Amino acid sequence: MIIFKSINKLKNQVNFKANLGFVPTMGSLHKGHISLIKTSKQKCYKTLVSIFVNPSQFNKKKDYRSYPRNLNNDLKILKKLKVDYVLIPKINDIYKTKREMQIKLNKTDKILCSKYRPGHFEGVLGVISIFLKNIKAKFMFMGNKDFQQLYLIRKYLGKRFKTKIINCKTIRFKNSFAYSSRNKLLSKKNLKNAILISNVLKRFHNLIIKDFSKVKEIKNINYKISKKCSKLEYLEIRNKDNLRKKINRNNFKIFVAYYLDDVRLIDNF
């Protein structure tokens, strides 16, 4: 496993013409990340994992500072997985070309997380664009848990670069709530609440599949979730193909964002 702390060194030493898979992360690796890496290793000849906690996608400095970090443990995991390359760039290395990172969202895309976290996805898209410009991977692997992020990356960056974006299934804790680096910040009580909330949403999703008219019960689900969390930011059902509100039995997806104390979690079913 070769570790690079500079994008230029990576570009000089890695053969991007080979079948290279890329997994961008913010570190604090969990089973979701591990699944992405294993998928890349199965599909690609070489795998590159980046670890970069991007400051521009955090709305609050406190959230950026408290974001869980454990680089030594991450490197142990990556070494055990036999990852070929790891990129750990510094902030100045990423942000030296700020003009290329300025991506504006259309008004119609300022929904769900984008509505409640202004500038968040602009920050994500900016960094991913720098990565894709310099890391000419054949594939980039991302999880469905961050569904809106994946949708926007495809929409705004998909045609700019040759890298094919592969979406991978959400990995769940005990077949319940999605693995997330922020889960490490949860108390035991809030961990139980997160499981309860996910189970409510999962049952609601299955209910709609059986009887599409049950989408009208979203107010009742809203009430149930609100009782289990500190704050329910949004609970919406949207079209998974374009994130619009026009839905049917085959294209609907439930999106949620909520707080357990100061920890913000998102999910979709």
Compute the Cα dihedral for 115, 117, 122, 125 and give only its sign.
negative
User: What's the rounded Cα separation, in Å, for the pair 84 and 5?
Assistant: 14
Closest CA to 187 of 76, 263, 78, 74: 263
Both tokens assigned to 41:
């290793």
Question: Which are the contacts of 99, defined by CB distance < 8 A and separation ≥ 6?
Answer: none
Helices (H) and strands (E) in the chain, counts: 10, 9
User: What's the rounded Cα separation, in Å, for the pair 5 and 88?
Assistant: 5
Burial pattern 11-36, b for ≥16 Cβ within 10 A else e, equals eeebebeeebbbbbbbbbbbebbbbb
Whether 120 sits among the annotated catalytic residues: the reply is no
**Active-site positions?**
33
